[in-house]
Chains A and B, each alone.
Chain A
Amino acid sequence: MNRLLLSVSLIFIFFFFSCGERKPVGRAADARYLEDGSNKGLVNLDKINAQDFSRAANQLVTDLLASGSLAEAPLQPAILHVGEIRNDTQTYFDTDLLLQGMKRDLLASKRVRISTTAGPEGKIADSYADTVRKELGADGDKQINRPRPYFSLSGKIIEETSRVEKVTQKDFYFLLTLTELNGGTGVWFGRELITKQGSRGAIGF
């Protein structure tokens, strides 16, 4: 009787657990997806996190649009060449993490058109498009027009570190300059500072 009861219990337990949610053996699984711009992302003191790039890009675009500099171009929308943004921080990252968001917003504002075929040799955003355009232009194709950029955007990202006892402060400066190519002068100087302070990283902020 006891043996029968034990067998039934074992079969019941087997079916009960086999139909349950599959979980990895060992440590609890905690990997999850975060939405873009979430405030639950990691906050590292020594590097620029995803939310920092988004914030810097948004603040710089807002400042640029508020300045009215783009509206000064005689032909609207003006052609903008996005030049080099130097990464002078201690960590490697692709500066397109900052620039792509800015380009999208600037293009959507309909204040500029962004050139992807202008720039110094080897630093053209779309070299294939540039080559094709050159070839078609050499063949005398009348559909190829060559509007030259009216503005150029360049800049750098700087990192500064300060420490008092065990507390570290990291200052990341995003410095951008908009140059009007005809006059060769800067018409907007953007500055966005992201400061982080603490003794170690955190999850969320």
Chain B
Amino acid sequence: MKTYIQKSFSTFFFSLLFVLSACSHKGIVGTVGKTDPQDKSAQPEVTKVEFGGELEKALEVVRITQGKADGNLLRMQVEIKNYSSTEVQFTHKLEWLDDEGFLVKDTSLVWKALMIRPGESKMIESIATRPGVSAFRLKIQPAKNP
């Protein structure tokens, strides 16, 4: 009887542990940006603030490239590489910030899905739709339906 209770408890404990660990990464958002938001050089230094637990092990930001498009519109490109041995599905959202640090509300404020195969790198690129934009933040989150 005692062994049965011990077994039941162990099963329950490990099930709970599994459920908790499976759900633990949900909702964590990784943010990638420039170390200095006002850095206007072509390849600014990359900074990473938080990263989804699972994604940090698999993905790495190789470089950020920025420039101007059509005169005075900030153009950016972030290269992300998958260093893991499995394909990675994630969603990302880009936030543009103007010279005063205010968030620009345009159509870029939408989560987009992306998949990267093992060893592959992909570019996420965009152009700001406002002339006064000088910085950006790229948010990355694990996909819900991988």
CA distance A37 to B71 in the complex (A): 28
CA distance A111 to B72 in the complex (A): 11
Nearest A-chain residue to B131, judged by Cβ: A110
The range of chain B's interface size is 20 to 34
Q: Are A39 and B71 in touch, CB under 8 angstroms?
A: no
Q: Are A202 and B145 in touch, CB under 8 angstroms?
A: yes
CA distance A187 to B26 in the complex (A): 44
Any B CB within 8 A of the CB of A80: no
CA distance A110 to B143 in the complex (A): 35
A7 CB contacts on chain B under 8 angstroms? none
Nearest A-chain residue to B75, judged by Cβ: A66
Any A CB within 8 A of the CB of B84: no
Q: Which of B16-24, B57-65, B101-109 contacts A (4 or more CB under 8 A)?
A: B101-109
Known: A37-B111, A108-B130, A109-B131. A204 touches B144 (CB 8 A): yes
Q: Are A54 and B107 in touch, CB under 8 angstroms?
A: yes
Partner of A205, one of B70, B109, B144: B144
A43 CB contacts on chain B under 8 angstroms? 145
Q: Are B93 and A37 in touch, CB under 8 angstroms?
A: yes
- Against B, the Cβ 8 Å flags (1 = close, 0 = not) of A35-70 are 011110001000000010011011001100110101
A39 CB contacts on chain B under 8 angstroms? 91, 93, 111, 141, 144
Q: Are B107 and A65 in touch, CB under 8 angstroms?
A: no
Q: Which of A98-106, A117-125, A147-155, A162-170 contacts B (4 or more CB under 8 A)?
A: A98-106
Which positions 166-205 of chain A face chain B at CB distance < 8 Å? 202, 204-205
Where the two chains meet, the residues of B that have a C-beta atom closer than 8 Å to any C-beta of A are: 69-71, 73, 75, 91, 93, 106-113, 125-127, 129-131, 141, 143-145
Known: A105-B106, A109-B131, A205-B143. 8 other contacts (CB 8 A): A38-B111, A51-B110, A58-B107, A102-B107, A104-B107, A205-B111, A205-B144, A205-B145
CB<8 Å pairs between A and B, sample of 7? A36-B109, A37-B111, A39-B93, A39-B111, A55-B112, A68-B70, A108-B129
Where the two chains meet, the residues of A that have a C-beta atom closer than 8 Å to any C-beta of B are: 36-39, 43, 51, 54-55, 57-58, 61-62, 65-66, 68, 70-71, 101-102, 104-106, 108-111, 202, 204-205
